């Protein structure tokens, strides 16, 4: 058993990573404001519809750029009308005597806004966490099955209190489901012993549950009306992605993928896609899956908020972990090393037994 001392915080700051900050639908006509790891951002679309992200402060007099408007390819500050390109350069200062502005006015570094790379993918707007950097690594994560006509997808976005570690561990934690979500997903009255194989790489960790019976509760019955044994995998992928996958034979497959964007040290913005293929037509099942999934998320959000409030009351986090905490310590390891710019330390697969 391990314990973290009082005053500890698991909050991390991750550089050179892609995070979703809003849905594509939210970014329409006017600019919008978002926060990524404590950095206020102003998001807008250029004339071609491509998203752009500037830090939400005009270099002239510190006005929020998110209060401005789009002017062609540019973002115009609502205070004095300065205009900025998607890369941050100031391209117009209204009122200067000479056409095009005084010499050097547009390209002067002091007059430029701070820009972040931004792309639209899978219905989300993703922003690169390091300002001014040209992303050299892989593109943002692709949500699975969105373009597969065999699958029905329910999507949801919301904010939650809690650190990234707390929110990700909650999404991948099996033991709490029988209590916090009892009746919806699992129950403390029906327990089975299963084997869990844990595999960790440089940027991910996965738990495979072997011999798990269909989870009790309404969601379990929707997934596998006839019962049986499920193939169950839980995964964490850097920078902040959690995935829960259930498969029963060739007929039923459920994948819940959530991207967790750190708004601040104790608040996250999550973007979830629940994709499923069942023996019944998706159009018949969707009206039941959506409200049940939202109920589960509401219960999680309530507990995470209470947990965060208690951390604040006691002046820091404290953890006591057992072998039932299958993925949480590994997620913490990967996050801490990523914050230092180091790869995680892989290890050989390990097997343990637990009740679910």
pTM value is 0.91
Question: Which of the residue ranges 260-264, 283-287, 294-298 has the most confident prediction, judged by mean pLDDT?
Answer: 260-264
pLDDT the model gives residue 107: 56
What is the pLDDT averaged over residues 260-273? 96
> pLDDT per residue over 141-200, tens digit each?
999 999 999 999 999 999 999 999 999 999 999 989 888 887 776 666 666 788 999 999
Domain borders along the chain are 18-128, 152-355
pLDDT the model gives residue 216: 67
pLDDT the model gives residue 279: 79
Confidence of residue 332 (pLDDT cuts 50, 70, 90): very high
Distance CA 161, CA 266 (A): 6
The answer to whether the CB of 194 falls within 8 A of the CB of 186 is no
pLDDT the model gives residue 223: 65
The residues, any chain, with a CB within 8 Å of residue 290's CB and separated by 6 or more, are 154
Distance CA 53, CA 289 (A): 34
> pLDDT per residue over 96-139, tens digit each?
755 444 444 445 678 999 999 999 999 999 999 999 988 888 99
Report which of 28, 312, 289 is spatially closest to residue 166, judged by C-alpha positions: 312
Checking 202-205 for CB contacts under 8 A at 24+ apart, the result is 202/343, 202/344, 202/345, 202/346, 203/237, 203/238, 203/334, 203/338, 203/343, 203/344, 204/235, 204/236, 204/237, 204/238, 204/334, 205/235, 205/236, 205/327, 205/330, 205/331, 205/334, 205/344
Identify the CATH number of the domain defined by range 152-355.
Answer: 3.90.380.10
pLDDT the model gives residue 97: 59
**Judging by beta carbons within 10 Å of its beta carbon (0-12, 13-18, 19+), is residue 48 exposed, middle or buried?**
exposed
> pLDDT per residue over 199-254, tens digit each?
999 999 999 999 887 766 666 666 666 667 789 999 999 999 999 999 887 778 99
The proportion of the chain whose per-residue pLDDT surpasses 70, expressed as a percent, equals 88
Count CA atoms within 13 Å of residue 304 on its CB side. 25
Q: In CATH, what class is 18-128?
A: mainly beta
């Amino acid at each position: 058993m391990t314990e973290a001392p009082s005053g500890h915080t698991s909050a991390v700051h991750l550089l050179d990573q892609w995070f979703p900050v809003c849905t594509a639908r939210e970014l329409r006509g006017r600019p919008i404001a978002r926060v990524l790891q404590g950095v206020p951002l102003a998001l807008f679309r250029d004339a071609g519809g491509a998203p752009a992200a500037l830090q939400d402060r005009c270099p002239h007099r510190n006005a929020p750029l998110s209060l401005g408007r789009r002017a062609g390819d540019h973002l115009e500050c609502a205070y004095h009308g300065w205009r900025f390109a998607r890369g941050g350069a100031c391209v117009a200062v209204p009122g200067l005597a000479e056409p095009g502005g005084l010499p050097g006015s547009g390209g002067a570094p002091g007059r430029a806004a701070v820009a972040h790379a931004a792309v639209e993918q899978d219905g989300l707007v993703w922003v690169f966490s390091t300002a001014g950097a040209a992303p050299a690594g892989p593109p943002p994560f692709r949500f699975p099955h969105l373009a597969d006509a065999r699958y029905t997808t329910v999507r949801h976005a919301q904010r939650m209190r809690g650190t990234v570690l707390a929110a990700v561990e909650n999404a991948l934690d099996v033991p709490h489901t029988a209590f916090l979500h009892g009746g919806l997903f699992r129950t403390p009255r029906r327990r089975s012993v299963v084997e869990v194989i844990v595999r960790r790489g440089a940027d991910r960790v996965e738990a495979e549950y072997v011999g798990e019976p269909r989870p009790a509760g309404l969601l379990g019955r929707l997934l596998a009306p006839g019962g049986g044994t499920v193939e169950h995998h839980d995964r964490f992928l850097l920078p902040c992605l959690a995935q829960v996958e259930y498969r029963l034979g060739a007929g039923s497959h459920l994948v819940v993928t959530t991207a967790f964007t750190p708004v601040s040290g104790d608040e996250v913005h999550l973007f979830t896609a629940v994709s499923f293929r069942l023996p019944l037509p998706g159009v018949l099942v969707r009206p039941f899956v959506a409200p049940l999934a939202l109920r589960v998320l509401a219960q999680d959000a309530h507990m995470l908020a209470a947990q965060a409030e208690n951390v604040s009351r006691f002046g820091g986090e404290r953890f006591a972990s057992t072998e039932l905490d299958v993925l949480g310590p590994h997620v913490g390891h990967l996050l801490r090393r990523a914050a230092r710019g180091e790869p995680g330390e892989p290890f050989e697969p390990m097997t343990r037994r637990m009740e679910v």
